[in-house]
Amino acid sequence: MKTIVVGITGASGSLYARRLIQILCDLDVHVHLVLSRHAMKVISLELEPLSFKADKEIKYEVLRYFHGEHITFHGYQDFQSPIASGSFCTDGMVIVPCTAGTLGRIANGVSTNLLDRAADVTLKERRKLIAVLREMPYSEILIENMLRLTRAGAIVMPASPTFYHEPKNVMDLVDSVVARILDHLGLDSELEVRWPRD
């Protein structure tokens, strides 16, 4: 069974994360999930209300929302989590959506939480790290951080949906981005979003 770490930050684009996790679970991939506090708030705005009053309650709200047999939730500040160590083997990590701040911290080796640390571990162990950036426009600082992260071995993948597959709804657009993430993880999603062939 493949193991993928999924980090969700407070950028807009919760649909990308939900769809990715759904397909990973359908493909029997074990997902190690970590969300920022701001991610929980954005999810509540974009998808459905989630109520939590204390950190210990977040786990139950998240597991209620992200359905899947193979999901392990990790607290945002839990540096004792196995995904904080390079000796814990994974097949890569996806940060979706990824804020400019998160990307900047990772690009500069600053680990202030488990999500940052897991990404740092992924890079140092030479595993695949995909940062699905949800930001526009780009400042010079952000461009420099994207270059720095790319040179460190990560894949910076802006959440840019395609239109050549004639999307009929928002989820068709979401699928075009998620399919590209899965391609780079080496997973076949069978999503119908490929460039038309003769």
Distance of CA 9 to the CA centre of its chain: 8
93: helix, coil or strand? Answer: strand
Strand ranges across the sheet with 71-74: 71-74, 30-35, 3-8, 93-98, 129-133, 155-156
Cβ burial, residue 2 (10 Å; 0-12/13-18/19+) = middle
Q: What is the mean pLDDT of residues 49-66?
A: 53
Residue ranges of domains in the chain, CATH in brackets:
3-184 (3.40.50.1950)
Q: Is the pLDDT of residue 160 over 50?
A: yes
Q: What is the mean pLDDT of residues 92-102?
A: 97
Q: Which one is predicted more confidently, 21 or 52?
A: 21
Q: What is the pLDDT of residue 193?
A: 83
